[in-house]
Amino acid sequence: MLRRLLALIAGRQGVCSYDELARELGVSQPLVEQLVADLLRSGCLRMAVDECVVEGCTGCPLRTSCSLPGGVRLWELTDKGRRWLAQPQGSASHP
């Protein structure tokens, strides 16, 4: 299922939500959140936006004019994720 999720993200053009991924995988949204957390921990996904942009607003000189939507977390595929996805399914299949 992790591989299916990776393939879904890699095949997307633009942003997708947990809800959309859940519908495409046929599972619940909380399970997708758990899958994404596992992919993050394994290094297949990473935070796409610098933390300074999303979280470090307190000390930012631009904060008074900033309207970045709060609470947004954006994840993107890493090179590792792409490499794993390119490998044939069934990890014992390669030497």
Partner 1 sequence: MTASGVSGATLRVALAGSPNTGKSTVFNFLTGLSQHVGNWPGKTVECKTGTCQRGDTVFFFVDLPGSYSLTANSLEEEVARDFIIQEQPDVVAVVVDASSLERNLYLVCELLELGVPLVVILNMMDIADGRGLRVDPQALESALGVPVVPTVAARGEGVSELLDAVRAVGFGEARALAPPPPTSAAVQALVERLDGMVPSDLAIPYPRRWALVKLLEGDRAIAGAVKKALSTNGWRGVNSFLRLHDDAILEIVGARYEWVAKTSQQVTHRLGKEKVSLGERADRILTHPVGGVLAFLGVVAAIFWAMFSLGTPVQERLDDWLVEGSAERLQSALEGAPDRLVSLLADGVIGGAGLVLTFVPILAILFLALALLEDLGYMARAAFVMDRFMHLIGLRGKSFLPLFLGFGCNVPAILGSRIVESRSARLTTILVAPLMPCAARMVVVALFTAAFFGRAAALVSWSMVTINLAVLALMALLLSRFVFRDEETGFVMELPRYHAPNWRTVLMATWQRVRAFVVLAGTAILAVSLVVWALSSFPGNQIEDSVLGMVGRGLEPVGRLLGLDWQMIVALMTSFVAKENTIATLGVVLGEGGGDVDLSTQLTQIMVPAAAVAFIAVQMLFIPCVASVAAIRRETQSWRWTGFAIGYMVVISFAVGIIIYQVARLMGWGV
Hey, which residues between 47 and 86 contact partner 1 (CB under 8 A)?
Answer: 48-50, 53, 62-77, 83-84
Q: Smallest gap, in angstroms, from Cβ of residue 59 to partner 1?
A: 14
When asked if residue 17 is in the footprint of partner 1 (CB under 8 A), the reply is yes
Of 42, 65, 61, nearest in space to 52 by CA: 61
Q: Name the phi and psi angles at 21, rounded to 5.
A: -65, -40
When asked if residue 41 is in the footprint of partner 1 (CB under 8 A), the reply is yes
Q: Which residues of 65-92 are buried (b: 16+ CB within 10 A; e: fewer)?
A: eeeeeeeeeebebbeebeebbeeeeeee
Q: Report the interface residues with partner 1, using CB under 8 A.
A: 1-4, 6, 8-19, 21, 25-28, 30-31, 33-36, 38, 41-42, 45, 48-50, 53, 62-77, 83-84, 87, 89-95
